[in-house]
Amino acid sequence: MSSRALVRGRSRREALALTAAGAVLAAGCTSSPPAPSPGPSRSPRPSTSRSKAAARLPLVLAVHPTRALGLAAGRGLVADLRDGGSVAWEQLGGQGGRARVVRGAPGSDREAVTAVRHDPDAIAVVRADALDPSVAALPVDGRDPVTEPGRYPVTVASEKGPDMVVTTLWTGDIMLGRRVGEGIARAGDPGMPFARTRRRLRAADLTVGNLECTLSRAGEPTQGGDSFAADPAVLGALRGAGFDVLLLANNHLGDFGTEALRRTVRAVREGGFAATGAGENLAAAREPAIVRAQGLRFGILAFNAIGETPAAGRATPGAVQVRMPPRTGPLDMPNLAALEASVRDLRRQVDVVVVCPHWGQQYTHRPVEEQHTVARRLVDAGADAVIGSHPHWVQGIELYRDQLVAHSLGNFVFDMDFSRQVRQGVVLELVFWGARAMAARLLPVRIGDGHVPHFLGAGSGEAREILADVWRTSGEPFSEGVE
């Protein structure tokens, strides 16, 4: 099996913490990180672990994700709560009465995290190594304990410091043809769609997106006015925006026939991207994208459950297919079994496995039942996360066996404008300490004028609206805070 390894060696910008300033699963502010430092240095960031004698860990305030948007604290409040004090939500920038403060007894911080996981009115005072994506750690004095533990102001002694911090970003659908392409041509700037998100995307150690178009017009359009083709020059813009991996398993890669599909896959790979989900034949389409971010090995697989793009065959080009409702028939168990085998094989090669389905019903916040079934089977096979696309609206998230399932991130770059929901989406930020997922943040985005998306700040009513749409169709533990 061949694979392409990429090293995102540029150091994370200090201002990446801005993506976390509103706490886990929320955009903290509207400003973007500073531009990348000049120079070719691409060596991995050293581990933040310290010697046993000097090891320290952040002491954090953890809250339920549905309450986290816009909350923050100062170091004095953390110390007060550690020493037995109380707090009202208004003191943190939220609404409501007094919080129920839970503290971890020696060796039992996980119990405090579990209490918050099931009680949106609780706040836990715990060491950072007790965190997981089911809760949100608040920034303190503007510092985020998960992405910048070495700069966080309140720490406690520990036998072991934080492992290497790796930040990843996952976007929704990226369609650079049709009216988006016309706008690019008028501006003479292939990078225009990323003008307002580029700096934040580049600040991550690994950035992944679903390329929902072909890059060639070598054949006749197969879907009429919904046939999407972009100028191959957009590949340079995608690289400039920080994308490392492009997902190709979707229902528009084949919009101009199989020769255009071949040329697109070749152009993506020659453009320096890792890619997965489509290829010259089924074996090639099944090849994972294997990338290295700060020394951590990520393996990514993708599949298309919508149809339209041809399914790859033993000797024919196309996308990896899993037939399932609502578009391609009942759930095809041999298709699913083959995908599970790919996950198990990849599990032996990498530190983190992520599967990216193109699935579901368009224009609804609610996943179809089979999405839950397939996601859980993939986690059982060894996936650390399942991150979906296609519905064009955001959909719910859940944890299964403590692994994150995000059913749809909505649109990221698209020319749809017939409803408010198709111009909204989220970017998923997954933060790892070593191979362990510590935080999952949903960063709300809005597609604005010229089909150019931008991140929404914690004070935005639309950010709250987008996250509310996610929570309403989420599973446990995220559904705990939904009335």
Average pLDDT over residues 250-270: 98
In residues, how long is the chain?
Answer: 483
Predicted structure pTM score = 0.90
pLDDT for the residue numbered 48: 44
pLDDT for the residue numbered 7: 41
Q: Grade residue 51 by pLDDT with cuts at 50, 70 and 90.
A: very low
pLDDT above 70: residue 10:
no
Range with lowest mean pLDDT among 152-166, 313-327, 371-385, 438-452: 152-166
Q: Grade residue 337 by pLDDT with cuts at 50, 70 and 90.
A: very high
pLDDT for the residue numbered 26: 43
Range with lowest mean pLDDT among 48-52, 104-108, 228-232, 237-241: 48-52
Handedness of CA 370, 372, 377, 379 (dihedral sign): positive
Q: Which long-range contacts (CB under 8 A, 24 or more apart) does 112-119 make?
A: 112/62, 113/62, 116/62, 116/63, 116/64, 117/64, 117/477, 117/480, 118/477, 118/480, 119/64, 119/480
Q: Grade residue 104 by pLDDT with cuts at 50, 70 and 90.
A: confident
Handedness of CA 46, 52, 53, 55 (dihedral sign): positive
| CA end-to-end span of the chain | 48
pLDDT, mean over the chain: 90
Q: Grade residue 335 by pLDDT with cuts at 50, 70 and 90.
A: very high
Q: Grade residue 108 by pLDDT with cuts at 50, 70 and 90.
A: confident
pLDDT digits (tens, 9 = 90+) for 29-41: 333 333 333 333 3
pLDDT for the residue numbered 394: 98
Average pLDDT over residues 181-206: 98
Which residue type, as a one-letter code, is found at position 235?
L
pLDDT digits (tens, 9 = 90+) for 388-421: 999 999 999 999 999 999 999 999 999 999 999 9
Are the C-beta atoms of residues 35 and 199 closer than 8 Å to each other?
Answer: yes
pLDDT digits (tens, 9 = 90+) for 122-159: 999 999 999 999 999 999 999 999 999 999 999 999 98
Q: How does strand 403-406 pair with strand 385-387?
A: parallel
Alpha-helix residue ranges (DSSP H) falling in 147-280: 178-187, 198-203, 234-240, 257-270
Q: Which residues, other chains included, contact 40 with Cβ-Cβ below 8 Å and sequence gap of 6+?
A: none
pLDDT above 90: residue 460:
yes
Distance CA 68, CA 226 (A): 39
| DSSP state for residue 243 in the 8-state scheme | -
Q: Which helix (H) or strand (E) holds 7?
A: none
Burial of 333 (0-12, 13-18, 19+ CB in 10 A): exposed
Q: Which residues, other chains included, contact 106 with Cβ-Cβ below 8 Å and sequence gap of 6+?
A: none
Q: Output helix, strand, coil percentages for the chain, rounded to the nearest 5.
A: 30, 25, 45
pLDDT above 90: residue 14:
no
Average pLDDT over residues 223-240: 97
Q: Grade residue 18 by pLDDT with cuts at 50, 70 and 90.
A: very low
Distance CA 296, CA 85 (A): 40
| Domains recognised in the chain with CATH numbers | 58-162 (3.40.190.10), 165-481 (3.60.21.10)
pLDDT for the residue numbered 482: 66
Strands (E), 104-154: 122-127, 136-137
Phi, psi of 40 (to 5 degrees): -90, 5
| DSSP state for residue 151 in the 8-state scheme | T
Average pLDDT over residues 205-218: 98
Q: Grade residue 481 by pLDDT with cuts at 50, 70 and 90.
A: low
pLDDT digits (tens, 9 = 90+) for 276-291: 999 999 999 999 999 9
249: left (phi over 0), alpha (psi -120 to 50) or beta: beta
DSSP for 245-267, written as a single string: EEE--STTTTTTHHHHHHHHHHH
Report which of residues 10 and 170 the model is more confident about.
Answer: 170
Q: Which residues, other chains included, contact 167 with Cβ-Cβ below 8 Å and sequence gap of 6+?
A: 12, 16, 147, 203, 204, 205, 206, 429, 430, 431, 432
Distance CA 141, CA 468 (A): 27
